[in-house]
Amino acid sequence: MDRHLPASLGGPAVPRRSASTVRRHDMVGTPLFWLTMAITICAVVPVVFFRAARPWIGSAILLMWTGFFTANAIRSRRTHSVISAPVYFLAAILLAATASGFVEVQIWMVWLIGAGIIAANLSERVIGKYL
């Protein structure tokens, strides 16, 4: 048996994680997820009143989601979290670069990306599959 071949060609069989194992380790829908969601919603108030701080508040929120999805990707190895974490990180960098004057990005575009990822996670939790 060759260790470098896949199991289908005579290599070692690597046990896969079952869907129930991934679900058990998935943090989407847990109290930490809902706390992150509540902080995101509460961030709307300072965004409305502090126009100059909007990109920095947005960057902080996106970095918070980056941390959440990074932890979830490590914990559950969920593909959606593995994809979401760098997208949120890139969005946070773009917002910070916009606030610093390095690039010109419309802030609503970045918030739209974040809202889409949150909607995808919620839809998977509610419907049971990706949209």
pLDDT digits (tens, 9 = 90+) for 10-68: 555 545 555 554 456 787 778 998 999 999 999 999 999 998 888 899 899 999 999 99
What span, in angstroms and rounded, lies between the C-alpha atoms of 55 and 76?
A: 31
- Does the pLDDT of residue 5 top 60, yes or no? no
- Indicate the pTM of the whole model: 0.65
pLDDT exceeds 50 at position 121: yes
- Contact call for residues 35 and 64 (beta carbons, < 8 A): no
Q: What angle do CA 94, 120, 63 make, to 5 degrees?
A: 30
* Rounded Cα distance, 109 and 79, in Å: 23
- Residue 67's pLDDT is 93
Tell me, what's the pLDDT at 131? 40
